[in-house]
Amino acid sequence: MTQENEKRLSIIREALPRFEEPQRIEHTLGVYRECLWMSKVFRLSEEEAYTVCAAALLHDIAKTLPLEKALLLAEKQGKTLKTDVPTVIHQYAGAMLALEEFGRELVNDEMLSAIACHTTGKAGMTMLDKMLFVADFTEAGRKYRSCLEFREYLHSGCEKINKNDKNARLRVLDDVAKRIVGYTITYLTEKGKKIDLAMIEAWNSMV
């Protein structure tokens, strides 16, 4: 990554204590490291690598906002939330907060898209959307069996593929994203919890 992009990432990284507690920062840096690994494995362009790594650093900055403030933040940016699942609102508010706090000098539209679907996924996810979505689930700090299994599947699957065959590796990424969505829907259903419409739409677009 260029020195300029490293500097931009450092600005975001150093600002994290303003938004997150130490334990949350540890998770955030885990997601960052997973995205950095993906940027190399999938041979992303310079701008793509910066985008997904910056999105990783920013993805949870609205996690601890009170619900009322998160909703107001989203409305302030002209976004109407179509969800009644409180646990996913931080992804929408986080995209807005990232833009408000760091501006267009550090934040681009692809980054906002990835942040705004990192918990639920959505229909028609881009490659970078999927990378952040998957990394949030597979980062090394996650110790749940499902997280460990999907991380192993992603890493071992990519390692078995010729490094020049990006399309084959992207198919592994697609498969992991689909598996995570399917697993999460099953888990929430079994627990009798609501499922955000964006996740249902993500699943329907993948099958």
Structure confidence by residue, pLDDT tens digits, 69-100: 888 887 765 555 666 677 888 998 999 999 99
Supply the pLDDT for residue 78: 53
How many degrees, rounded to 5, is the angle at CA 162 between CA 159 and CA 166?
95
State the DSSP H helix or E strand holding residue 63, giving kind and residue range, or none if neither. Answer: none
Could you tell me which residue, 110 or 78, shows the higher pLDDT?
110
Mean pLDDT in residue range 53-75: 90
pTM of the model: 0.95
pLDDT for residue 39 is more than 70: yes
Mean pLDDT in residue range 96-109: 95
For tokens 């929408």, name the residue.
92
Supply the pLDDT for residue 99: 94
Supply the pLDDT for residue 87: 83
Supply the pLDDT for residue 80: 55
Supply the pLDDT for residue 164: 87
CA-nearest of 88, 87, 131 to 110 is 131
Name the average pLDDT for the chain: 93
pLDDT tens, position by position, 152-205: 999 999 999 998 899 999 999 999 999 999 999 999 999 999 999 999 999 999
**Confidence band for 103, pLDDT divided at 50, 70 and 90:** very high
How many degrees, rounded to 5, is the angle at CA 135 between CA 30 and CA 36?
65
pLDDT tens, position by position, 138-150: 999 999 999 999 9
Distance CA 177, CA 203 (A): 10
Task: Give the chain's count of helices (H) and strands (E).
Answer: 10, 0
**Confidence band for 41, pLDDT divided at 50, 70 and 90:** very high
CB neighbours of 55 closer than 8 A, spacing ≥ 6?
Answer: 35, 110, 111, 114, 115, 118, 128, 132
CB neighbours of 151 closer than 8 A, spacing ≥ 6?
Answer: 138, 139, 140, 142
State the DSSP H helix or E strand holding residue 204, giving kind and residue range, or none if neither. Answer: helix 197-206
**Confidence band for 62, pLDDT divided at 50, 70 and 90:** very high
Paired tokens of 161: 């593929």
Mean pLDDT in residue range 12-41: 97
CB neighbours of 30 closer than 8 A, spacing ≥ 6?
Answer: 139, 140, 141, 142
Q: Where are the domains of the chain?
A: 3-206
Is 3-206 a CATH 1.10.3210.10 domain? Answer: yes
